[in-house]
A and B are shown apart, each in its own frame.
Chain A
Amino acid sequence: MSPRSSDSSPTPDIYVGLLFVSLAALITGIVFLVLELYKYGWQVAP
């Protein structure tokens, strides 16, 4: 990465958007797994 000057703010590009999309996918997957674990009463081992 190139050094950035203090007065110029970085401009979000497509990759930042991709990271947000990736974050949303991770959150969705975590929700699915939480719901699944909720069905078993939060008991991982019998």
Chain B
Amino acid sequence: MSVTATTAETQPFGRRAKRFMTDYPLVPLIVLLLLLVLVLNIMQPGIVNQRWIANSVKFAIPLALLAGCQTMTMLTGGIDLSVGTVATMAAFFVATQAVDNPTAVAIVIALVPALLIGFANGIGVGVFRVHPLIMTLGTSLIGVGFLQVYQRTVIASGAKVPDSLTWLGTGLTWGIPNALLLFVPVAAFLIFMQRRTGFGRLLYAIGDNERATRLAGVKYWQVILALYMLSSVLAGIMGLLYIGLIRAPSLSLAEPLVLPSVAAAVIGGTSIFGGRGGYTGTIIGALILTVLTTLLTILQMPEGARRILFGAIVLLVTAAYLRIIEER
């Protein structure tokens, strides 16, 4: 029965490597990204050129925007699965409303459902404490229902993607995607919000230790409500951009991007348990996934394999992350 004492031998290198990873999470991510690009170039020499880069960035931006929603919500330990529906609704609304309305009006109308869904999510999660996953899945289901009803009412009037959105989503200026005009300010705003505002501070703190924020006088529901509304609006903006890129409104426009958006945030170092991560990592995560998708396409991997891979990434990264936390 005697149990021999096991002395906890510290492994200086492993420890230091881990600490380095947590202090500078971006470095290994960038290395991984470059590595993938390198592999790609080896497999298909010459593919990596300016046009390919511009194209990849163009497709990475919508993903990065949706992943921004996941980053923000994941910082508090939540998740937002309604972003796909919200983005689709915004896209569909703007395309149909632009037929009879000026683009600006159409855009405002398109963002209304986003606000409503965000509000419902915030109330459900913040006040009723429904698990964010279930809540956002539920509102997403309702949103799809609305979209279907709406589709029937506008089926006669047809759809038209405003030129300005097409220009923004698809256009290139001197070989640089115009979408960056939207993305750079949005990304700057998100990063500033996370790092330099009281709201951002609360997101991290709530995800880290909700109890502690409560004791510090923070009202959870206020933060959560604002968060999910912000997340929804961001998803709506992504929908506007995405319709400019895809140029064909459909009822499942942005849905396939939901899982990759979660994966991008997770790869980017944002913890699904909350309190850690940031948007910079997510952007690189989105780029990595875009390159990875190209790679899988070249390898002729079917869609199913891609889903399995992304699902496995989420699970493995999360489990690995849990180990890192527990060892300290």
Do A and B interact? no
- List residues of A whose CB falls within 8 A of some B CB: none
Contacts from B to A (Cβ < 8 Å): none
